[in-house]
Amino acid sequence: MELNVRLFALYRERAGQNIIKVAVGDGATVADLTDEVRRLVPNLAPPEVKIVVAVNADYADADVVLQPGDDICLIPPVSGG
């Protein structure tokens, strides 16, 4: 299945676009998606940085199974004080 993945802030800057299309197999999980995103955009985040994913406006664990049409957002780390 092909999913549209929205990128914000630092991730958007590194990818050079707001939305990327990511192809994953049926039954793919959030972990499968982030692996494919890292392959497509190698400079998105260092391997030690966990990519936070929201699916349909809720934070999603790595084992959440994705469905066609899911609204997926990648949320970069936030710092400040």
Q: Supply the CATH number for residue 64's domain.
A: 3.10.20.30
Domain membership flag for residue 17: yes
Number of domains in the chain: 1
- Rounded to an integer, what distance in angstroms lies between the CA atom of residue 25 and that of residue 72? 16
Domain membership flag for residue 31: yes
pTM of the prediction?
0.92
Domain membership flag for residue 80: no
Specify the pLDDT at position 81.
53
Structural domain boundaries, residue 64: 2-75
Average pLDDT of the residues of the chain: 94
Instruction: Read off the pLDDT of residues 43-81 as tens digits, 9 standing for 90 and up.
Output: 999 989 999 999 999 999 999 999 999 999 999 987 655
Domain membership flag for residue 81: no
